[in-house]
């Protein structure tokens, strides 16, 4: 277990994170009708940037984000197409029928981060693409539904890995979820596969992301020469969804909610769609 302290959020923090989470989810709602064959990912990024800054009056957290040893990230969104696992840099390349696309957005409102991502299947779907996008969604929810006070972070990894194994897909090991708040990437690092090392216990007031990346082939990844783009080593398809999760006294809540969000799969017992989104 890493010694870095997991911040327990105050009621005020949680209120701020709910607002930021909703705005990030609403940004994905806004982008959805534009995700069509022929659009470039750079155009989607421009739309995201303008909506974030001018309509939502938020700060795009990814633009210029520079983790240690990295070059500044050059865009508002990460748009990861087909065999791109994550951190896809928007470009002038056009989306085409059957592409599977992850759009990952992070916005800052009043100092709090909202971080969420969804899959989109462009135009006429392929069977394999549609299946992997759905399995990524279900793997995320299997992980989320393992959250309860008294449990521990390893429960997320166990649940995600079991779901992936059952369906013959693999879980990326080099990237994971993270605590989130006033910081973009806070402790802890959240693995989506099991570990033998001790992991922290869930406590009410913890907020973190669950964002498994799953591959149709093997779990290995490699980084392209731009220093950011992560692709599957075997160039198989990859998919990812992301929500922000709050540990409550009795279970968990989802902070990245909006009208356009997809309801959880039927197997989820711990959370229901709010009645008035």
Between 83 and 87, CB nearer to Co ion: 87
Cβ atoms within 10 Å of 157's Cβ, excluding its own = 23
264 and 271 Cβ atoms separated by less than 8 Å: yes
CA atoms within 13 A on the CB side of 245: 29
Q: Smallest distance from the beta carbon of 106 to Co ion, in angstroms?
A: 5
164 and 214 Cβ atoms separated by less than 8 Å: yes
Between 170 and 209, CB nearer to ligand MF3: 209
Q: State how beta strands 238-240 and 213-215 pair.
A: antiparallel
Cβ atoms within 10 Å of 69's Cβ, excluding its own = 6
Return the residues of window 93-112 that contact ligand MF3 according to CB under 6 A: 104, 106
Between 123 and 183, CB nearer to ligand MF3: 183
For the chain, report the end-to-end CA distance as a whole number of angstroms: 37
Determine if 138 is a binding residue for ligand MF3 (CB under 6 A): no
Would the annotation count 87 as a binding residue? yes
**Look-up: residue for tokens 């592409």?**
99
Q: Smallest distance from the beta carbon of 200 to Co ion, in angstroms?
A: 18
Would the annotation count 185 as a binding residue? yes
Provide the CA 167 distance to its chain's centre, in angstroms: 20
Return the residues of window 241-270 that contact ligand MF3 according to CB under 6 A: 242
Return the residues of window 171-210 that contact Co ion according to CB under 5 A: 209
Determine if 156 is a binding residue for ligand MF3 (CB under 6 A): no
**Angle, helices 41-50/11-31, rounded to nearest 10 degrees:** 140
Say how many residues touch ligand MF3, by CB under 6 A: 11
Between 150 and 225, CB nearer to ligand MF3: 225
121 and 98 Cβ atoms separated by less than 8 Å: yes
Q: State how beta strands 170-171 and 238-240 pair.
A: unpaired
Between 78 and 147, CB nearer to ligand MF3: 78
Counts for the chain of helices (H) and strands (E), in that order = 4, 15
Binds Co ion by CB under 5 A, chosen from 45, 99, 104, 138: 104
State the binding site. Answer: 87, 104, 115, 178, 185, 211, 242
Interacting residues toward ligand MF3 by CB under 6 A:
62, 65, 73, 78, 87, 104, 106, 115, 209, 211, 242
State the binding site for substrate. Answer: 87, 185
State the binding site for a divalent metal cation. Answer: 104, 115, 178, 211, 242
């Amino acid at each position: 277990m890493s010694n870095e302290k997991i911040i327990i959020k105050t009621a005020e923090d949680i209120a701020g994170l709910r607002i930021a989470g909703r705005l990030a989810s609403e940004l994905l709602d806004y982008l959805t009708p534009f995700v069509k064959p022929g659009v470039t990912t750079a155009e989607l990024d421009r739309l995201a940037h303008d909506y974030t800054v001018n309509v939502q009056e938020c700060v795009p957290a990814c633009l210029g984000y520079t983790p240690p040893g990295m070059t500044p990230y050059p865009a508002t969104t990460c748009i990861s197409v087909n065999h791109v696992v994550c951190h896809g840099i928007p470009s002038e390349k056009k989306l085409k029928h059957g592409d599977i696309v992850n759009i990952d957005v992070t916005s800052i409102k009043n100092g709090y981060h909202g971080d969420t991502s969804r899959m989109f299947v462009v135009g006429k779907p392929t069977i394999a693409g549609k299946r992997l996008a759905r399995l990524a969604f279900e793997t995320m929810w299997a992980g989320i539904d393992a959250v309860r006070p008294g449990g521990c972070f390893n429960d997320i990894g166990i649940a995600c890995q079991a779901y992936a194994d059952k369906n013959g897909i693999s879980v990326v090991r080099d990237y994971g979820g993270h605590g989130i708040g006033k910081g973009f990437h806070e402790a802890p690092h959240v693995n989506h596969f099991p570990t033998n090392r001790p992991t922290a216990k869930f406590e009410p007031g913890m907020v973190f992301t669950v964002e498994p990346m799953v591959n149709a082939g093997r779990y290995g990844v490699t980084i392209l020469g731009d220093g950011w783009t992560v692709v599957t080593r075997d160039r198989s398809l990859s998919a990812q969804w992301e929500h922000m999760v709050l540990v409550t006294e009795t279970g968990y809540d989802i902070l990245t909610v909006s009208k356009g969000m997809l309801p959880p799969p039927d197997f989820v017992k711990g959370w229901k769609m709010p009645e008035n989104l």
